[in-house]
Amino acid sequence: MGFLGGAYLWVLALHVIFVIFLMAALFMMPRFFVYHQECEPGSPEIDRWIDRENKLRSIILNPSIVLVWVFGMVLAAHGGFWLDGWFLVKLALVIGLSAYHGWVIGYMKALRRGEHRLSGKKLRLLNEVPGLATIAIVILVFVKPF
């Protein structure tokens, strides 16, 4: 099984490392949005939140999602999981998290324009999406219920 040989554990470790980075950023960004929205319009604090959001996006969030996908696809090819039920559900959840990532970036841009589309309460609830997806993904990967 697989073509990675001795590199398998390294690729797996890198995949997990970048999943952790990605999840941390996906947890942090909606919190940043809450604090950003609570700032007085036109205040210097808004510029500081925009800078923080940009750094989180460019240094952690975007590079991590790319590397998660690259290492994940290599692992899937190595294991030949493409038709396994657990993998297909996991893949659907990862696609959903990727869409959530896109939403996060879009909301960040909207905040930059001064648009506050959601309340702090809704942003805090949306902050739970990555956590719930993570629970399901970890169970699928380790338990492989189907």
User: pLDDT of the chain along its 146 residues, tens only?
Assistant: 689 999 999 999 999 999 999 999 999 999 999 999 999 988 999 999 999 999 999 999 999 999 999 999 999 999 999 999 999 999 999 999 999 999 999 999 999 999 999 999 999 999 999 999 999 999 999 999 99
- The neighbour count for residue 18, using CB atoms within 10 Å, is 21
Q: What is the reported pTM?
A: 0.93
Residue 43, phi then psi, degrees to nearest 5: -80, 155
d(CA 81, CA 65): 20
15 is in an annotated binding site: yes
CA distance 27 to 130: 7
Count of the separate structural domains present in the chain:
1
Domain that holds residue 74: 5-143
CB 27 within 8 A of CB 127: yes
Cα dihedral sign, 91-54-45-118? negative
Residue with tokens 């809450």: 34
Residue 66 half-sphere exposure toward CB, CA atoms < 13 A = 7
